[in-house]
Chain A
Amino acid sequence: MRHLLLKDLQILRRSPLVSALLVIYPVAIAILIGFALSDEGGKPRVAFYNEVPEDEAFNVGGAEEDLDRGIARDELCDRVECVDVDSREEAEAKVEDGEVLGALIVPEDILDKLQSLTSLNPEQPTVEVLVNEDDPVKAQLVDDRIQALITEANLILAQRISESAEVYLNVLIEGGDFDIPLLGQTFSVLGLDNAATILEEAREELPPDSEAAKQIDQVIEFAELAGDNLDFALPLLGAVASPIEVDKTVVSGGGTSLDSFAISVAATVTLMFVTVLLVAGSLALEREENAYPRLTRGLISPGALLAEKVLLGAVASLVVTLLMLAGLSLFVSIDWGRIGLILLAIVMGGAAFAAFGAALGGAAREVRASSLLAFMVSLPIAFLSLVPSGTVGPAVYDVIQVVRALFPFDPALDAMSAALDDAAPSIGLPLLHLAVITLAYGVLARLALRRFN
């Protein structure tokens, strides 16, 4: 087997195109994924044109800080990459050129309209959004992003208004000074608690059974009742500002980070293509070169030949995938302390893909046909394995689950995720799954070899 393995590596070395692809492919994937992951968190670029004068601010009642144009920009740019522009025309040009996903224009009068929300004549504030909907997917993405931003802005305003209302209520209950910015005046308010205290003191000076004492008792009772009820209103205002609080519980799938998942997908796709194409082609080559009958008439058994091909696939995939991960580590952080698990995932995944490739190579029997078959079968399975639950109907998803279970991509991806990220589910089950798949495709490949003679 050792001699055959060396022979295959020699042949690989003599095929410059294949050898170059084996090096270039993982490096290219690493660079692409690396740039994608290190691109400032992948925030969409949005042009931002603010027509609000720099010295204007918005304050509701006694809120602790003003809402000015700087705060609005900070809130926005925390969620998207802002590209500041100086005019509406510039914003339009950037959207048309595709330089930005969309543009947000904040009109000059927005602070006045926001201020009016606390008056008796409220006006609806409006922001303008420019989008380029030449691509339906992009259009949907922009809609979702803008909607999320507006919801976020509304929530911030609701919180500020709620905070102001709390100040008003506290003044009504406890008393104190009260500013009215529009009038530029400050009022001193007695407060319900203080009113009740004053009335109780006044009542003690009246005859107990007098009509006036009874009336004062009624007013005292009202003041206390009003104070108590307004106390209850304070937490209610907080609830209105954030009516729904999210309490997330993960019931399935663990907590793999998006970065780890992207690296796992890249590594598994690399593992799949390199191993399946190499092993399928290498096995088909034995027949195409007419060497198979010569080898198996006593020099080596068909089973040993298959084992050699699986070993070849595992070795090549190990080198290529490690090369890719090393390239990726220039862009993103990879926990090399988990190298043992990473090697295990690559070797087991590589073996399963190699057995799968051997079955394809045995079925196709010609190098070109095997390469085409490997490509045509592998790609759709990889896509199916990335379909999230809930995005298709239950019956279709059940079918997808069966397909996933029958091919190595899904367990290889799970194993790679578990190896790269300790937040992912355990690696044990995917490795067991890969072992079963390796065995099953090994048997299928052995059956396919019967057609080689």
Chain B
Amino acid sequence: MAADDQAVIQVRGLSKRFGERWALRDVSFEAHRGELLAVIGPNGAGKTTLLSILAGIRAPDEGEVSRAPGEIGWVPQQAALYRRLTVAENLMLFARLEGVDDPGAVVEEMLEQTALRERRDDQVITLSGGNQQRVNIAIGLLARPPVLLLDEPSSGLDPRQRARLWEFVNALAGGGTTVIFSTHYIQEAERYGDRLLVLADGERVFDGSQQELHQAVPESGARDFEEAFVAFLRERGH
């Protein structure tokens, strides 16, 4: 999972307001090829807003992103699939809409990659939550984007499904895809993230490794990463 030094995406000074409330305020960071960047923070920190701006769903009030939304794959938190279509039909539809050169070949590749070949003709409505999420991610990968955004990808999955999901995501990163994911599960961020981006009240309050976050709160007496994270936020008034 080692990321190389090449920055694949650079974000500079992103801000977004909803009325009087700042959802994001001057957030900057960059991510590298093959890196797994975990975006964490308490509820309302701005995680989903950040990912939706990167995906092109929302426009920022200020700031810029080095890549166009079309170059970034996006996997929303809720599976964005047509439940009455089969797995293959969903993939084929979005492959055609993405305008990929050989939709049939790409669909076969994604079915192979997500290990859903045997379920290709099953309607999505008959799949488990974990398999639906795999199809959801596969759609985000159809255009072979260099950067993939995962908005709370393991939400609603059982531990076994989560483990299979992260195995799949790790394989993607191993193949060179930069993965930026948000999560409520601090242990997932600790375990699977190469780097952490901590948001609180719309501001970036930390950007670094798990070890660096531990070191940032040496007096807290935290026994594990989750306690260190809570202590970190408390120290900074969040």
* Interface assignment of A297: CB less than 8 Å from any CB of chain B: yes
Choose from A10, A11, A295, A297 the contact partner of B55 (Cβ within 8 Å).
Answer: A297
Chain A interface residue count, CB cutoff 8 Å, equals 18
Stretch of B4-12, B27-35, B75-83, B176-184 contacting A (4+ beta carbons < 8 Å) = B75-83
The answer on a CB contact under 8 Å between B97 and A290 is no
Give B53-99 interface residues, CB cut-off 8 Å to A: 55-58, 69-70, 74, 76, 78-85, 89, 93-94, 96-98
* Interface assignment of A338: CB less than 8 Å from any CB of chain B: no
* Interface assignment of A15: CB less than 8 Å from any CB of chain B: yes
Docked pose: A240 CA to B22 CA in angstroms: 91
The answer on a CB contact under 8 Å between A290 and B58 is no
A291 in contact with B80 given A10-B89, A299-B94, A300-B97 (CB within 8 Å) = yes
* Interface assignment of A453: CB less than 8 Å from any CB of chain B: yes
A87 vs chain B, min Cβ distance (A): 64
* Interface assignment of B139: CB less than 8 Å from any CB of chain A: yes
* Interface assignment of A138: CB less than 8 Å from any CB of chain B: no
* Interface assignment of B210: CB less than 8 Å from any CB of chain A: no
Q: Which residue of B lies closest to A12 (CB)?
A: B84
The answer on a CB contact under 8 Å between B79 and A290 is yes
Task: Give a binary string over A271-302; 1 marks a CB under 8 Å from any B CB, 0 the rest.
Answer: 00000000000000000011101110111100
Docked pose: A164 CA to B97 CA in angstroms: 88
* Interface assignment of A7: CB less than 8 Å from any CB of chain B: yes
The answer on a CB contact under 8 Å between A15 and B74 is no
The answer on a CB contact under 8 Å between B139 and A294 is yes
The answer on a CB contact under 8 Å between B93 and A7 is yes
A385 vs chain B, min Cβ distance (A): 35
A293 in contact with B84 given A7-B93, A10-B89, A299-B97 (CB within 8 Å) = no
- Which of A7, A11, A290 has the most C-beta atoms of chain B within 10 angstroms of its own C-beta? A7
* Interface assignment of A248: CB less than 8 Å from any CB of chain B: no
* Interface assignment of B155: CB less than 8 Å from any CB of chain A: no
Q: Which residue of B lies closest to A293 (CB)?
A: B57
* Interface assignment of B161: CB less than 8 Å from any CB of chain A: no
Docked pose: A297 CA to B69 CA in angstroms: 7
List of A residues within 8 angstroms of B84 by Cβ: 10-11, 14-15
Q: Which residue of B lies closest to A295 (CB)?
A: B97
Docked pose: A302 CA to B205 CA in angstroms: 36
A298 in contact with B78 given A3-B97, A289-B83, A293-B57 (CB within 8 Å) = no
Task: Give a binary string over A297-323; 1 marks a CB under 8 Å from any B CB, 0 the rest.
Answer: 111100000000000000000000000
Docked pose: A352 CA to B52 CA in angstroms: 34
Q: Which residue of B lies closest to A292 (CB)?
A: B80
Choose from B58, B69, B76, B82 the contact partner of A298 (Cβ within 8 Å).
Answer: B69
The answer on a CB contact under 8 Å between A290 and B85 is no
* Interface assignment of B114: CB less than 8 Å from any CB of chain A: no
The answer on a CB contact under 8 Å between B70 and A3 is no
* Interface assignment of B209: CB less than 8 Å from any CB of chain A: no
Choose from A291, A297, A453 the contact partner of B82 (Cβ within 8 Å).
Answer: A291
The answer on a CB contact under 8 Å between B80 and A10 is no
A11 in contact with B85 given A3-B96, A299-B97 (CB within 8 Å) = yes
A11 in contact with B82 given A3-B97, A297-B55 (CB within 8 Å) = yes
List of B residues within 8 angstroms of A299 by Cβ: 94, 97-98
Docked pose: A136 CA to B106 CA in angstroms: 70
A76 vs chain B, min Cβ distance (A): 60
The answer on a CB contact under 8 Å between A289 and B89 is no
List of B residues within 8 angstroms of A10 by Cβ: 84-85, 89
Choose from B80, B83, B85, B123 the contact partner of A294 (Cβ within 8 Å).
Answer: B80
The answer on a CB contact under 8 Å between B80 and A297 is no
Docked pose: A293 CA to B198 CA in angstroms: 25
A294 in contact with B74 given A7-B82, A11-B85, A289-B80 (CB within 8 Å) = yes
The answer on a CB contact under 8 Å between B56 and A297 is yes
Task: Give a binary string over A411-453; 1 marks a CB under 8 Å from any B CB, 0 the rest.
Answer: 0000000000000000000000000000000000000000001
List of B residues within 8 angstroms of A4 by Cβ: 93, 97
List of A residues within 8 angstroms of B93 by Cβ: 3-4, 7
The answer on a CB contact under 8 Å between B70 and A298 is yes
B73 vs chain A, min Cβ distance (A): 11
The answer on a CB contact under 8 Å between B70 and A7 is no
List of A residues within 8 angstroms of B139 by Cβ: 294
Task: Give a binary string over B99-140; 1 marks a CB under 8 Å from any A CB, 0 the rest.
Answer: 000000000000000000000000100000000000000010
List of A residues within 8 angstroms of B76 by Cβ: 290, 293-294
- Which of A297, A300, A453 has the most C-beta atoms of chain B within 10 angstroms of its own C-beta? A297
A84 vs chain B, min Cβ distance (A): 59
The answer on a CB contact under 8 Å between A453 and B98 is no
Docked pose: A15 CA to B83 CA in angstroms: 11
Docked pose: A297 CA to B52 CA in angstroms: 10
B223 vs chain A, min Cβ distance (A): 39
Task: Give a binary string over B38-60; 1 marks a CB under 8 Å from any A CB, 0 the rest.
Answer: 00000000000000100111100
Docked pose: A241 CA to B69 CA in angstroms: 88
Docked pose: A15 CA to B84 CA in angstroms: 8
Choose from A7, A11, A290 the contact partner of B78 (Cβ within 8 Å).
Answer: A290
List of A residues within 8 angstroms of B79 by Cβ: 290
Task: Give a binary string over A321-359; 1 marks a CB under 8 Å from any B CB, 0 the rest.
Answer: 000000000000000000000000000000000000000
A115 vs chain B, min Cβ distance (A): 80
Docked pose: A14 CA to B89 CA in angstroms: 13
Docked pose: A289 CA to B94 CA in angstroms: 14
The answer on a CB contact under 8 Å between B81 and A289 is yes
- Which of A14, A15, A295, A300 has the most C-beta atoms of chain B within 10 angstroms of its own C-beta? A14
A sample of 18 cross-chain residue pairs with beta-carbon separation below 8 angstroms, ordered by A number, consists of A3-B93, A7-B82, A7-B89, A7-B93, A10-B84, A11-B82, A11-B84, A11-B85, A14-B123, A290-B79, A291-B81, A293-B52, A293-B80, A294-B139, A297-B56, A297-B74, A299-B98, A453-B58
Minimum-distance CB pairs A-B, first 10: A290-B80, A294-B80, A299-B97, A14-B84, A290-B78, A297-B56, A11-B84, A3-B96, A291-B80, A298-B70
Binding site for B on A (CB under 8 A): 3-4, 7, 10-11, 14-15, 289-291, 293-295, 297-300, 453
Besides A4-B97, A7-B93, A15-B84, 14 new A-B residue pairs in contact (Cβ under 8 A), listed by A number: A3-B93, A3-B96, A11-B82, A11-B84, A289-B80, A291-B80, A293-B55, A293-B80, A295-B97, A297-B55, A297-B57, A299-B98, A453-B57, A453-B58
